[in-house]
Structure 1
Amino acid sequence: MTVYIQKHIYDKELIKIENISIHFNKSPDYLNRYFKQQTGSTITDYITRYKLEIIKTRLKYSDLTIYKIAKEMNSTDESHLNKTFKSVLGQTA
């Protein structure tokens, strides 16, 4: 399932739990429980942390602005992205 999420990370529709469950032909509740058992993380937390790692890499190794990166990652705006960074990673973007 992590490979599926990583492959589709830029498509916010495909990484919704409802669509992941359709892809794997399992209920959303089952997938959430299974994913948590296997990874120790919820699907939502995994997606958030994976996106933040991509954003950190892009900020470090590209010339893209935080605005462009936020847009690319389907974040609502820079402010929301910074709040997510702060709450999850304890630092700002």
Structure 2
Amino acid sequence: MAGTRHNRSAPLSVKARHSGIISYGGWVAGARAAEALRLVLAELQMATVRAQPTISTHPSFHTGTFVPQEGLDTAVGGMLDQVIAWSGALRG
């Protein structure tokens, strides 16, 4: 979501939408930032799905090469399935 200065809020195009959150980072893979983002999205009346894949970059610190975690494709696919299901439900 791109920031905006007008009215100090998110643009109307993102309000009352459905969303999924994928986070990445070190030990906790950005999970704390994703928790905070979930609260912000709720205030924008955006429905967030329960699935929240996290990508840990910690194993890559020593080698310098990112290798996706086992099961990441499944986790992201599950989240996207939930987003698609919610999109149909929220349309009415």
TM-score by length of 1: 0.30
Bigger relative contact order, structure 1 or 2 (CA pairs below 8 A, ≥6 apart):
2
Give the number of the structure whose residues are more often strand, by fraction: 2
User: Which of the two has higher C-alpha Rg?
Assistant: 2
The two structures have a TM-score, normalised by structure 2, of 0.30
